[in-house]
């Protein structure tokens, strides 16, 4: 029996690529093992979007290379965005690695490993044109009751701080038929929650013709599958249509949750980021969403310390967060990315100042998140049960419709029994900064 150990880094989109490679290798007779010491094949699927992600990837690779030191028959394979971004530079940097595979060639991983020669090699196609499809092999790494559906690849937005378009290529949308086929096969395996992901979900279909768009895809998924929960992550602010909001208002199977990276609020900063909107657009968008979906949970991401961000710009960001009272906010201190347009911009912000601004947003938002969660106390909420809590086996853990997997808090269930994947009614009794507590309504 051939064995493999996988380390999958980065975002949910990269996780889907890892699942594709797991599917191929499983077809080739490989079995996944938890302990790298027991693996013939050591596989690291990297993220290359930020320097911090690249450093993390190199640490993981060097850690696995240790096992190869102890047993030279092991093979160390590195794939993903870091390979796509840095290509043959890596061969010199990381001689321990037997094979580097770029994004477009991951689908051929089994053939490439079977054809592996003794010397380190690199297989890389640029620009990236690959697009996953229903008949691509896939072995879920998430519990069977929840899964990601990657609906596009690449991005055409060209934000000045972002390297993804140069790594993942231009926008490519999968067809509705192809996505439906995948969703139906996932549904047949007993799916409770399907999370739609992309670099920009709202761009879905832009490259397939005017009549194909996100609301159309959702309508097909609603009509042709019985998946209880459909969740939307990564929407571009000004591309959220009334059509989409009306569909969400009419269709409770699309959970009232929207993840919309704003990145900033100041018109001047957004312009330097090449984001196609300003503060007033964000204001009317938040109001419009709350008009159609009063109960909708809003998640966003903010970048602090972008070149040229003045104290006044930053105060404006704090004022807006105070005003909008968003449910979940991820904050990141800006870092120059080699090769990005923003790296060439003037008026850099010092590391100390970036940290101060990061802390101030975190503190403000912690108070807001807690207040938002308190509104659920006393309510009975639908909760998707994940299983026995990671904290203690006295509790079950789950998520409401307002909490996304792997990024938001959870619900600790201290009364009642249920199985992983069940959607149960939970009476919420307590709220903390990020988590809730409650008991199952029998
Ligand atoms: S929308 Fe902007 S930040 Fe997001 S992937 Fe595309 S270019 Fe990058």
Q: What is the DSSP letter of 4?
A: E
Is the CB of residue 251 less than 8 Å from the CB of residue 232?
A: no
Burial class (CB in 10 A: 0-12, 13-18, 19+), 374: middle
> What is the biggest distance separating any 2 CA atoms in the chain, rounded to whole angstroms?
64
Mean per-residue pLDDT, 135-139: 95
- In the chain, pLDDT over 90 holds for what percent of residues? 93
Q: How confident is the model at residue 254 (pLDDT cuts 50, 70, 90)?
A: very high
One DSSP character per residue, 70-123 reads: H-TT-EEEEEEHHHHHHTTHHHHH-TT-SEEE-GGGGGGHHHHHHT--SS-EEE
pLDDT in tens, 200-252: 999 999 999 878 999 999 999 999 999 999 999 999 999 999 999 999 999 99
**Tell me, what's the pLDDT at 113?**
94
Task: Name the helix (H) or strand (E) containing 2.
Answer: strand 2-8
Domain topology for 380-440: OB fold (Dihydrolipoamide Acetyltransferase, E2P) (2.40.50)
Q: What is the DSSP letter of 151?
A: -
Cα 1 → chain centroid: 33
Mean per-residue pLDDT, 7-30: 97
* Measured distance CA(413)–CA(16) in Å, rounded: 29
3-state secondary structure of 333: strand
The CATH code belonging to domain 146-374 is 3.80.30.20
> What is the token pair recorded at 261?
């990276």
**Tell me, what's the pLDDT at 216?**
97
Mean per-residue pLDDT, 184-194: 96
* Measured distance CA(411)–CA(400) in Å, rounded: 7
- Residue boundaries of the structural domains of the chain: 2-123, 146-374, 380-440
Q: How confident is the model at residue 296 (pLDDT cuts 50, 70, 90)?
A: very high
Ligand 1 midpoint to CA 340 (Å): 12
Site to probe by mutation for ligand 1, drawn from 11, 160, 164 as the one with most ligand atoms within 8 Å of Cβ, is: 164
Ligand 1 midpoint to CA 261 (Å): 9
* Measured distance CA(51)–CA(108) in Å, rounded: 27
The CATH code belonging to domain 2-123 is 3.40.50.12160
Site to probe by mutation for ligand 1, drawn from 199, 261, 277 as the one with most ligand atoms within 8 Å of Cβ, is: 199
Pocket of ligand 1 (CB under 6 A): 155, 157-159, 162, 164-165, 199-200
Strands 297-304 and 254-259: parallel
Ligand 1 midpoint to CA 164 (Å): 6
The residue whose C-alpha atom lies closest to atom 4 belonging to ligand 1 is 199
Task: Name the helix (H) or strand (E) containing 428.
Answer: strand 423-431
Q: How confident is the model at residue 119 (pLDDT cuts 50, 70, 90)?
A: low
The answer to whether 146-374 and 380-440 have equal CATH topology is: no
Q: Is the pLDDT of residue 337 over 70?
A: yes
The residue whose C-alpha atom lies closest to atom 8 belonging to ligand 1 is 162
> What is the token pair recorded at 84?
């796509």
Cis peptide before 127 (omega within 30 of 0): yes
Q: Is the pLDDT of residue 8 over 80?
A: yes
| 95 contact partners, CB below 8 Å, separation of at least 6 | 120
pLDDT in tens, 20-76: 999 999 999 999 999 999 999 999 999 999 999 999 999 999 999 999 999 999 999
Q: Is the pLDDT of residue 115 over 90?
A: no
Ligand 1 midpoint to CA 197 (Å): 13
Q: How confident is the model at residue 121 (pLDDT cuts 50, 70, 90)?
A: confident
**Tell me, what's the pLDDT at 415?**
93
**Tell me, what's the pLDDT at 125?**
83
3-state secondary structure of 163: coil
* Measured distance CA(272)–CA(305) in Å, rounded: 12
Site to probe by mutation for ligand 1, drawn from 12, 14, 48, 159 as the one with most ligand atoms within 8 Å of Cβ, is: 159
Ligand 1 midpoint to CA 380 (Å): 37
pLDDT in tens, 379-422: 999 999 999 998 778 789 999 999 999 999 999 999 999 999 99
- In the chain, pLDDT over 70 holds for what percent of residues? 99
Looking at the CA of residue 168, tell me the nearest atom of ligand 1: 5
Ligand 1 midpoint to CA 290 (Å): 25
Ligand 1 midpoint to CA 163 (Å): 8
C-beta neighbour count of 442 within 10 angstroms: 8
Mean model confidence pLDDT for the chain: 96
Q: Is the pLDDT of residue 117 over 80?
A: no
């Amino acid at each position: 029996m051939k064995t493999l150990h996988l380390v999958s880094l980065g975002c949910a989109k990269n996780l889907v690529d890892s699942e594709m490679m797991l599917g191929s290798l499983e077809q080739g007779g490989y079995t996944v093992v938890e302990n790298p010491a027991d693996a013939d094949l050591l596989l690291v699927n990297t993220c290359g979007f930020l320097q911090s992600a690249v450093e993390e990837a190199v640490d993981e690779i060097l850690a696995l290379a240790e096992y190869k030191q102890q047993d030279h028959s092991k093979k160390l394979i590195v794939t993903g965005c870091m390979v796509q971004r840095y290509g043959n530079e890596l061969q010199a940097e990381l001689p321990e690695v037997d094979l580097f595979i770029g994004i477009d060639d991951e689908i051929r991983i089994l053939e490439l490993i079977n054809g592996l020669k003794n010397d380190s090699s690199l297989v890389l196609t640029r620009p990236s044109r690959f697009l996953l499809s229903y008949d691509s092999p896939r072995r879920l790494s998430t519990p069977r009751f929840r899964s990601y559906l990657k609906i596009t690849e690449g991005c055409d937005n060209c934000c000045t701080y972002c390297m993804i378009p140069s790594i993942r290529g231009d926008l490519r949308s999968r067809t509705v038929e192809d996505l439906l086929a995948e969703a139906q096969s996932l549904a047949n395996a007993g799916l409770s929650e399907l999370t739609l992901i992309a670099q920009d979900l709202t761009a879905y279909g832009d490259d397939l013709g005017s009549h194909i768009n996100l609301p159309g895809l959702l309508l097909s998924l609603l009509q042709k599958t019985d998946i209880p929960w459909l969740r939307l992550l990564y929407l571009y602010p000004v591309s959220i249509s009334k059509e989409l909001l009306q569909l969400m208002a009419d269709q409770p199977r699309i959970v009232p949750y929207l993840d919309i990276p704003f990145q900033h609020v100041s018109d001047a900063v957004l312009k330097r980021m090449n984001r196609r909107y300003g503060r007033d657009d964000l204001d009317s968008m938040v109001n419009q969403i709350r008009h159609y979906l009063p109960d909708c949970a809003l998640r966003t991401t903010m970048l602090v310390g972008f070149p040229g961000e003045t104290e006044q710009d930053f105060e404006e960001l704090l004022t807006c967060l105070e005003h909008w009272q968003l449910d979940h906010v991820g904050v990141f201190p800006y870092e120059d990315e080699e090769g990005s347009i923003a790296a060439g911009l003037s008026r850099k912000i010092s590391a100390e100042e970036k940290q101060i601004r990061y802390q101030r947003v975190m503190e403000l938002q912690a108070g807001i998140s807690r207040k938002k969660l308190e509104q659920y106390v006393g309510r009975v909420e639908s909760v998707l049960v994940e299983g026995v809590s990671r904290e203690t086996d006295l509790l079950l853990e789950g998520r409401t419709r307002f909490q996304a997997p792997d990024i938001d808090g959870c619900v600790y269930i201290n009364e009642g029994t249920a199985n992983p994947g069940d959607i149960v009614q939970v009476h919420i009794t307590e709220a903390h900064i990020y988590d809730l507590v409650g008991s199952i309504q029998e």
